[in-house]
């Protein structure tokens, strides 16, 4: 199993570069890598004990693969496969597939590494690959958005590096376990890097613009898995070190509320989905113990929603209200929205129930409010007009293959937590969804409030980092 | 003493990213910041000695810790590649925004 892990990490990079040499097989090779990852993830899921690799003594690379990572890796492989299906007939060049697979590989690497330096390397490779994917259309806007993303993430990672050496100074090892007993500034700096990279709370406000302005398949990939690369180490740290658990839970709750608050008032469908990513990442962090399952569900749903929003006639929700959409697409949209609001029979339900069971008492009000907000904001999608005649020719078969994979995955993922199906458990999400719809009709449908975007400006994002750092210092010290 | 200089470098770079208006200057400020971080690694590596850890015939001299140095080598390479990528992006943007004023670019390119 140890050798298998190493081969599995190396394979995406190896094949990724080979795609560029064999452009005629690009899609098949890319799909092959996803299948390998998926099989590997299922392997570790069945493995009873976590796999620990300690390459080259305790200074070297430490890898840990356990059940938590298997959820994340599975998400990664399914989402990447769906994105490849979506692009199957879209005439993408081999360069696109190369970047996609390298991104896939580096995200996989994040999900198994357990020391700060390999994490740093993997996160930076993600940054570069995501930059290239966002800038791929090479229009002015896409270049600026990509540049902004790289800037924010690289600045955050520089702070992170300072934190990593402080951990090394105290323990002479870069392992995650060394966070315990490290000076508070080390924890604050490392967390700043991870929070920014993962799009959590105020430091995650770079995310909406980046994810909404990228191309459809790229934003599906970014929202589905790439942000989870920042979240995963936080979850791992929360599970390893008890003292950090409350801080991460608090950030989870704050993020869930912040993201949903913006999403309710958003009028642009892609930006709304991006804000929702912020809020759902909060759900993952709010209950670190069961974060893996939530991440799987969210990855499937969010990439499905982003792919669907790519085939809708418009991005503006107001215009969508006047333009009927094709009924099969509408059904896919509704299934995905129901899952994210926690409707039974879809795995979003199991994930929500599991999360709600694992939160602490002080989190309850906040998380329930966030779930309620989710229902409100997705009511916007339920009540769009639809009709079976329009826009049939626009959608290719690749889109439906991707939908089948993602939405089918949502139904199948129910098997991970079948105990959720009791009457008392089902009543609450149904009531939440119903109340959300009522609130939408009575209040939010008519609201014309537009939240300011000042805080999302580039300089404010960087400046916000320093404020976050002060906040983190204060939290870690007390 | 040296440590405070290094932190000053990091902070100057960080504030440069915020306060400089020109995109290229911002990128250079980020490089200043990363130089600060790299020198911090080097400084911490040399806490116990300055000699290169290579096998030789002298014994019991105080070696520098090789781990932070080897680790920061990766970060230098990554920093270099990110710098060059960003400068290519700035070059492309310069075609339509010759002044490279970030405020202007941002205004033109946000929906």
On chain B, the residues whose CB falls within 8 A of the CB of A150 are 82, 85-86, 89
Residue A129 is predicted with a pLDDT of 94
Banded model confidence at residue A419, pLDDT cuts 50, 70, 90? confident
Mutation target vs B (from A315, A458, A463, A468; most B CBs, 10 A cutoff): A458
Percentage above 70 pLDDT, chain A: 99
Strand A386-387, strand A62-65: pairing:
unpaired
pLDDT value at position B86?
A: 93
Give B38-57 as a DSSP string: HHHHHHHHTTS--B-----S
The residue with tokens 């991460």 is: A248
The distance of A426 to chain B (nearest Cα, Å) reads: 41
Cα–Cα separations (whole angstroms), residue A453 to A87, A122, A253: 32, 31, 22
Distance CA A39, CA A402 (A): 18
Alpha carbon distance A101, A80 (integer Å): 8
CA-nearest of A326, A403, A301 to A86 is: A403
Question: Looking at residue A390, what is its pLDDT?
Answer: 65
CA dihedral B23→B24→B25→B28, nearest 10 degrees, is 130
DSSP secondary structure, A241-262, as one string: -GGGHHHHHHHHHHHHHHHHHH
Query: Residue A365: exposed, middle, or buried by beta-carbon count in 10 A (0-12, 13-18, 19+)?
Result: exposed
What parts of chain B have a pLDDT lower than 70? Answer: none
Would you state the pLDDT for residue A439? 84
Q: Is A340 exposed, middle or buried (0-12, 13-18, 19+ CB in 10 A)?
A: buried
Q: Residues A303-307: what's their mean pLDDT?
A: 91
Bridge partners of B63, per DSSP, are B51
Report whether pLDDT(A392) > 70.
no
Composition of chain B by helix, strand, coil, percent to 5: 70, 5, 25
CA distance B24 to A427: 57
Band of pLDDT at residue A435, cut at 50, 70 and 90: confident
**Greater pLDDT, A289 or B54:** A289
Q: Which of B30, B93, B109 sits opposite A155 (nearest CB)?
A: B30
Q: Which residues of chain B neighbour A162 with C-beta distances below 8 Å?
A: 10, 37, 40
Domain range summary for chain A, segments of one domain joined by +: 241-447
Chain B closest-CA separation from residue A120 CA (Å): 8
d(CA A199, CA A195): 6
Pairwise CB contact (< 8 Å): B37 & A151: no
**Residue A21, pLDDT score:** 92
In Å, how far from its chain's centre is CA A394?
28
How far is the alpha carbon of B15 from chain A, nearest alpha carbon, in Å? 9
Q: Is the pLDDT of residue A389 over 90?
A: no
Cα dihedral A265, A268, A272, A274 in deg (nearest 10):
-140
Judge whether residue A47 has pLDDT over 70.
Answer: yes
SS3 for A206? coil
- Verify whether the Cβ–Cβ distance B109 to A466 is below 8 Å: no
ipTM of model: 0.94
Question: Helices A94-112 and A2-21 sit at what angle, rounded to 10 degrees?
Answer: 160
Do residues A107 and A76 touch, judged by C-beta distance below 8 A?
Answer: yes
With beta carbons under 8 A apart, name residues in chain B contacting A175: none
Pairing state between β A325-326 and A51-54: unpaired
Least confident stretch, A17-26, A114-123, B47-56? B47-56
Q: Span A43-66, mean pLDDT?
A: 83
Chain B positions touching A169 (Cβ under 8 A) are: 44
Question: pLDDT, tens digit, for every residue of A249-282?
Answer: 999 899 999 988 888 888 888 888 999 999 999 8
Note the Cα B107 to chain centre separation in Å. 28
The whole-chain average pLDDT of chain A stands at 87
Closest residue of chain B to A457, computed from CA coordinates: B106
Contact of A301 with A340, CB cutoff 8 Å = yes
Are A190 and A143 in contact, with CB atoms under 8 Å apart?
no
Give the confidence band of A32 by pLDDT, cuts at 50, 70, 90: very high
Q: Which of A244, A232, A221 is nearest to A194 (CA)?
A: A232
Q: How is residue A32 written in tokens?
A: 């092959």
Chain A residues 2-21 with a CB less than 8 Å from chain B? none
Tokens representing A242 are 């008890």
Q: Are A374 and A276 in contact (CB under 8 A)?
A: yes
- Report DSSP state, residue A49: S
C-alpha to C-alpha distance for A314 and A217, rounded to whole angstroms? 16
Burial of A386 (C-beta count, 10 Å sphere; 0-12/13-18/19+): middle
Tell me the H-state helices in A113-183. Answer: 116-134, 140-171
Instruction: Report CB contact under 8 Å: A138, B34.
Output: no
Interior angle at CA A182, CA A176 and CA A185, nearest 5 = 110
A158 CB within 8 Å of a chain B CB:
yes
Mean pLDDT of A165-184: 88
User: Are the C-beta atoms of residues A173 and A203 closer than 8 Å to each other?
Assistant: no
For residue A327, the distance in angstroms to the closest alpha carbon of chain B comes to: 29
**A457 in B contact zone (CB under 8 Å):** yes
- 3-state DSSP assignment of residue B19: helix
Cβ <8 Å between B67 and A120: no
| Rounded Cα distance, A456 and A467, in Å | 15
Maximum separation of any 2 CA atoms in chain B, in Å = 67
What is d(CA A205, CA B46) in angstroms, rounded to the nearest whole number?
A: 39
Q: Does A245 touch chain B (CB under 8 A)?
A: no
Q: Do A131 and B37 touch (CB under 8 A)?
A: no
Task: Read off φ and ψ for residue A91, nearest 5 degrees.
Answer: 60, 40
Which pLDDT band, with edges at 50, 70 and 90, does A202 fall under? confident
pTM to 2 decimal places: 0.92
Structure tokens at A191: 């967390």
Which band of pLDDT confidence, cut at 50, 70 and 90, is reported for residue A96?
A: very high
Backbone φ, ψ for residue A394 (5° rounding) = -70, -25
Which residues of chain B are at the A interface, by a Cβ-Cβ cutoff of 8 Å?
10, 14, 17-18, 23, 26, 30, 33-34, 37, 40-41, 44, 67-68, 71, 74-75, 78-79, 81-82, 85-86, 89-90, 92-93, 96-97, 102, 105-106, 108-111
Higher pLDDT, A314 or B8: B8
- The pLDDT of residue A226: 92
| Both tokens assigned to A131 | 């930059």
Residue B54, number of CB atoms within 10 A of its CB: 7
Surface-to-core class of residue B92, CB atoms within 10 Å of its CB (0-12 exposed, 13-18 middle, 19+ buried) = middle
Most confident of A172-176, A187-191, A263-267, A450-454: A187-191
Q: How close A106 comes to chain B (CA, Å)?
A: 14
């Amino acid at each position: 199993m140890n050798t298998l892990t190493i081969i599995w990490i190396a394979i995406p990079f190896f094949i990724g570069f080979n795609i560029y040499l064999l452009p005629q097989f690009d899609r098949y090779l890319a799909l092959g890598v996803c299948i390998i990852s998926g099989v590997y993830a299922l392997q570790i899921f069945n493995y009873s004990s976590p796999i620990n690799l300690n390459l080259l003594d305790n200074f070297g690379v430490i890898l840990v693969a356990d059940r938590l990572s298997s959820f994340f890796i599975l998400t990664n492989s399914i989402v990447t496969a769906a994105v490849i299906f979506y692009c199957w007939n879209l005439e993408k060049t081999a360069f696109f597939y190369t970047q996609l697979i390298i991104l896939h590989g580096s995200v996989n690497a994040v999900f198994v590494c357990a020391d700060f330096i390999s994490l740093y390397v993997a996160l930076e490779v993600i940054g570069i690959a995501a930059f290239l994917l966002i800038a791929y259309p090479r229009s002015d806007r896409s270049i600026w958005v990509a540049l902004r993303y790289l800037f924010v993430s690289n600045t955050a990672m520089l702070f992170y590096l300072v934190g990593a050496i402080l951990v090394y100074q105290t323990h002479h090892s870069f392992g995650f376990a060394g966070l315990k007993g490290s000076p508070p500034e080390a924890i604050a700096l490392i967390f700043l890097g991870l929070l920014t990279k993962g799009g959590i709370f105020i430091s995650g406000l770079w995310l909406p613009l980046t994810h909404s302005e990228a191309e459809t398949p790229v934003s599906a990939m970014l929202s589905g898995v790439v942000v989870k690369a920042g979240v995963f180490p936080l979850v791992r740290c929360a599970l390893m070190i008890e003292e950090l658990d409350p801080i991460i839970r608090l950030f989870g709750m704050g993020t869930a509320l912040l993201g949903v608050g913006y999403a309710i008032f958003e009028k642009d469908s892609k930006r709304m989905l991006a804000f929702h990513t912020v809020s759902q990442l909060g759900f993952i962090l709010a209950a670190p113990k069961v974060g893996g399952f939530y991440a799987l569900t969210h990855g499937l749903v969010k990439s499905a929603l982003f792919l669907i929003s790519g085939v809708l006639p418009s991005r503006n929700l107001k215009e969508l209200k006047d333009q009927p959409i094709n009924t099969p697409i509408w059904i896919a949209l509704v299934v995905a929205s129901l899952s994210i609001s926690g409707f039974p029979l879809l795995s979003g339900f199991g994930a929500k129930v599991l999360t709600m069971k694992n939160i602490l008492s002080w989190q309850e009000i906040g998380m329930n409010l966030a779930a309620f907000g989710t229902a409100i904001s997705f009511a916007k999608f339920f009540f769009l007009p639809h009709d079976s005649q329009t826009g049939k020719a626009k959608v290719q078969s690749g889109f439906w293959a991707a939908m089948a994979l993602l939405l089918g995955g949502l139904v199948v993922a129910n098997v991970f937590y079948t105990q959720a199906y009791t009457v008392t458990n089902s009543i609450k999400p149904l009531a939440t969804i119903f109340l959300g719809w009522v609130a939408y009709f009575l209040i939010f449908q008519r609201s014309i409030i537009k939240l300011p975007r000042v805080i999302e400006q580039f300089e404010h994002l960087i400046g916000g980092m320093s404020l976050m750092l002060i906040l983190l210092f204060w939290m870690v010290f007390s | 003493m040296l440590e405070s200089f290094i932190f000053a470098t990091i902070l100057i770079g960080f504030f440069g990213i915020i306060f400089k208006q020109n995109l290229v200057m911002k990128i250079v400020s980020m490089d200043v910041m990363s130089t600060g971080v790299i020198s911090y690694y080097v400084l911490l590596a040399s806490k116990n000695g300055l000699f290169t850890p290579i096998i030789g015939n002298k014994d019991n001299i105080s070696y520098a810790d090789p781990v932070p140095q080897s680790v920061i080598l990766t970060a230098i390479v990554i920093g270099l590649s990110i710098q060059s990528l960003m400068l290519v992006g700035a070059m492309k943007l310069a075609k339509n925004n010759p002044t490279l004023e970030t405020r202007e670019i941002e205004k033109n390119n946000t929906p």
